[in-house]
Amino acid sequence: MKKPDLSKKSKCQMFQTKVELLGFKIGNGKTFAQSNKIDAIVSFPLPTTVKNLKRFLGLTNYYRNRVPNYARIAAPLYDRTKEKGTIED
């Protein structure tokens, strides 16, 4: 097994009270989604194809633990992914 290269001090952050890691801001005993990630979800264009709907669901699924009743909310959208081509109302 290879030893980690910790020689680049510019990449090391020690004794931080807040850090950003894997799309979350972590600090003071709390975890928040990064605002730019939330902006990406909010500004995602309305999916008109099954492919784009799957992209949107993939994006939102990462934060499913932060959304109460995510599975119930997203279930109708997941049902639509079984269709082919474009999505109609």
What is the DSSP annotation of 5-60? ----GGG---S-SEEEETTEEEETTEEEE-HHHHHHHHTPPPP-BHHHHHHHHHHH
pTM of the shown model: 0.72
The Cα diameter of the chain in Å comes to 56
- How far apart are the C-alpha atoms of 52 and 61, rounded to whole Å? 14
Contact 77, 54 (CB under 8 A): no
Q: What is the pLDDT of residues 35-82, one digit of tens each?
A: 898 999 999 999 999 999 999 999 999 999 989 999 999 999 999 999
